[in-house]
Amino acid sequence: MWSREQLAARAAKELQDGFYVNLGIGIPTLVANYIEHDQHIVLQSENGMLGMGPFPYAGEEDADLINAGKQTISTLPYSSFFSSADSFAMIRGGHIDLSILGAMEVAENGDLANWMVPGKMIKGMGGAMDLVAGVKRVVVVMEHVAKDGSAKFKPKCLLPLTGANVVDMLITDLAVFSRPDRNSKFELIELAPGVTVEEINAKTTAAFTLKAPMASI
Partner 1 sequence: MIPSVAISNQRKVFPDATSALQGLLSDGITVMSGGFGLCGIPENLLLALRDSSVKNLTIISNNAGIDDVGLGMLLKTRQVKKMISSYVGENKEFERQYLAGELQIEFNPQGTLAERIRAGGAGIYGFYTRTGAGTSVAEGKESRIVNGQTYILEMGLTADVAIVKAWRGDTEGNLIYRKTARNFNPVMATAARVTVAEVEELVPAGSFDPDHIHTPGIYVQRLIQGTHYTKQIEQRTVRPRS
As annotated, the active-site residues are 46
Q: How far is the CB of 95 from partner 1 (least distance, A)?
A: 5
Q: Interface with partner 1 includes 47 (CB under 8 A)?
A: yes
Which of 1, 9, 26, 61 is close enough to bind partner 1 by CB under 8 A? 61
Q: How far is the CB of 201 from partner 1 (least distance, A)?
A: 28
Long-range (24+ apart) CB contacts under 8 A made by 61-69 are 68/25, 68/126, 68/127, 69/25, 69/29
Which range in 2-10, 127-135, 187-195, 207-215 contacts partner 1 by CB under 8 A? 127-135
Of 7 and 52, which CB lies nearer to partner 1 in the complex structure?
52
Q: Interface with partner 1 includes 101 (CB under 8 A)?
A: no
DSSP H or E run through 12:
helix 4-12
DSSP 8-state class, residue 123: -
Q: Interface with partner 1 includes 130 (CB under 8 A)?
A: yes
Q: Interface with partner 1 includes 70 (CB under 8 A)?
A: yes
Of 85 and 212, which CB lies nearer to partner 1 in the complex structure?
85
Residue 172 phi/psi, 5-degree rounding, is -110, 180
Amino acid identity at 79: S
- Region label for 130, one of left (φ > 0), alpha (ψ between -120 and 50) or beta (otherwise): alpha
Q: Interface with partner 1 includes 54 (CB under 8 A)?
A: yes
Q: Interface with partner 1 includes 111 (CB under 8 A)?
A: yes
Helix (H, G, I), strand (E, B) or coil at 189: strand
SS (H, E, C) 99-144: EEEECCEEECCCCEECCCCCCCCCCCCCCHHHHHHHCCEEEEEECC
Which range in 32-40, 141-149, 194-202, 208-216 contacts partner 1 by CB under 8 A? 32-40
What distance lies between CA 164 and its chain's CA centroid?
Answer: 15
Which of 6, 9, 26, 95 is close enough to bind partner 1 by CB under 8 A? 95
Q: How far is the CB of 55 from partner 1 (least distance, A)?
A: 4
Q: Interface with partner 1 includes 64 (CB under 8 A)?
A: yes
Across the strands, what pairs with 101? 140
